[in-house]
């Protein structure tokens, strides 16, 4: 299975019935296509839409319907539109149950860096800073290492922070890791990997109690 497909399928299992969910730009948006049967969620887009549906088929694309990442989307029955001010009031008011975001770095304390690399072009911070501060749960969905094979899960973030102590769960193609007061707990590993391989790809210490689950 493709890395990205494996990640979003596992993230989808974290969705709870009745959740109001915001999916970040890029990989996290794919979670919308894998909502488990029997689970009903309402997707929020910070550019002003509640009730976002899955990505449309080419024949059904409406260029006027886009998410915050400028990707075309579909509507669900009962969806509604509103201003950016109202949208961020929902976020800042704590009305989003879950946000799923990508990351450049996450550290042992749940600090998140995902909006810029100094010296490189920055398009803008988007809504990530508001989302990680206002959402009830924050899941980071990302590939386990950089393109060069370097660690993205580190003892301490070296890049500018998006939020401090905000991440609850990290899900990669290799592992599911919970952020706790004691540190990073390795809860599950992919079916085709080992605890040793996950540790080798992770710069931060991982706590393991017993045999991790498999996904």
Angstrom distance (rounded) from CA 31 to CA 33: 5
Tokens linked to 204? 């931060």
8 Å CB contact between 13 and 36: yes
What element of type H or E holds 68? none
CA dihedral 111, 115, 121, 126 (to 10 degrees): -160
CA–CA distances in Å: residue 73 to residues 36, 65, 68, 171: 19, 6, 10, 24
Angstrom distance (rounded) from CA 38 to CA 23: 20
Q: Computed over its alpha carbons, how large is the radius of gyration of the chain?
A: 17
Tokens linked to 51? 């009730």
Cross-strand partners of 116: none
Which residue is catalytic, options 14, 46, 105, 173? Answer: 46
8 Å CB contact between 31 and 132: no
Q: 188 an active-site residue?
A: no
Q: What positions carry a catalytic annotation?
A: 46
């Amino acid at each position: 299975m493709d890395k990205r497909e494996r990640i979003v399928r596992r993230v989808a299992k974290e969705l709870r019935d009745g959740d109001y969910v915001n999916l970040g730009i890029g990989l996290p948006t794919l979670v919308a296509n894998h909502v488990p049967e029997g689970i009903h969620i309402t997707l929020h887009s910070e550019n002003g839409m509640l009730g976002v549906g899955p990505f449309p088929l080419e024949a059904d694309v409406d260029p006027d319907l886009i998410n915050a990442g400028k990707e075309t989307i579909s509507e669900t029955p009962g969806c509604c539109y509103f201003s950016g001010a109202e949208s961020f009031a929902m976020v800042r008011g704590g009305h989003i149950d879950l946000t799923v975001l990508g990351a450049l770095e996450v550290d042992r304390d749940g600090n998140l860096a995902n909006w810029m690399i100094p010296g490189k072009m920055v398009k803008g911070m988007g809504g990530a800073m508001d989302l990680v501060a206002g959402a009830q749960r924050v899941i980071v969905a990302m590939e386990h290492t950089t393109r060069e094979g370097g660690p993205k899960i580190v003892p301490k973030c070296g890049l500018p922070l998006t939020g401090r102590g905000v991440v609850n769960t990290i899900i990669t193609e290799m592992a599911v890791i919970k952020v706790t007061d004691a540190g990073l707990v390795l809860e599950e590993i992919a079916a085709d990997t080992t605890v040793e391989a996950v540790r080798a790809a992770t710069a931060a210490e991982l706590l393991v109690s017993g045999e991790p689950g498999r996904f």
